[in-house]
Amino acid sequence: MPAAVDLTPVIEFLPCRTPDAWISAAVGCLPLLMIDHANCEKKAAATAMSLMHRYTDNTALLNKMSRLAREELRHFEQVLKLMSQRGITYESVTASRYAQGLRDKVRKKDPHKLVDTLVVGALIEARSCERFAALAPHVDSELGDFYVSLLKSESRHFMDYITLANSLEDRDVVEERLALFRSIERGLIESPDTEVRFHSGVPTT
């Protein structure tokens, strides 16, 4: 069993906990959830690489996103391995509404666009971490241990994002943007959702 991680900063950062109804639904469709998890890791790496390409003059961002991208790709490989061992075919599945629902409110021009993108990244990473912890006790030991093993890096990723945001904008402004995106995030997590995905809302089926 991997070492325990203090998730207090993650829980305090997020606007709400994952509903029990989502956990029950997710446990009932683990193959689909693992495919979506692989997609999420791949997208997280791609987001980090995109930021590195776009903001080449920000050394702190380059260093943090380089490490984050490597870790997310490693997680992607680990999910693929677990899927292969379980006979799960990696196939295309639709994305949840979650990430796009957050990104719809990202401002269009820099430096505000970057600040919002980093705030959204922090929320996504924090939610991922919270959901790994929520799922771990309800799945088999191998998968549960894997989810627990991800907590340390995922909790650091959310801190990396919010630290970068605070370095670019006054803390009060970042808090205002964070309040907006927290409100949106709560709505996406707590409202009914027609699909079960790693970041989906309350399942309706």
Report the C-alpha gap between 62 and 60 in whole angstroms: 5
pLDDT of residue 203: 92
Instruction: For residue range 15-59, list pLDDT tens digits in order.
Output: 999 999 999 999 999 999 999 999 999 999 999 999 999 999 999
DSSP annotation string for 142-200: HHHHHHHHHHHHHHHHHHHHHHHHHHHS-HHHHHHHHHHHHHHHHHHHHSEESS--TT-
pLDDT of residue 2: 56
pLDDT of residue 64: 97
pLDDT of residue 184: 98
DSSP annotation string for 9-43: HHHHHSSSPPPHHHHHHHHTTHHHHHHHHHHHHHH
pLDDT of residue 4: 67
Q: Does domain 19-203 have CATH number 1.20.1260.10?
A: yes
Intervals of the chain under pLDDT 70: 1-4
Nearest to 121 by CA among 193, 199, 59: 199
- The full set of domain ranges for the chain reads 19-203
pLDDT of residue 3: 54
pLDDT of residue 72: 96
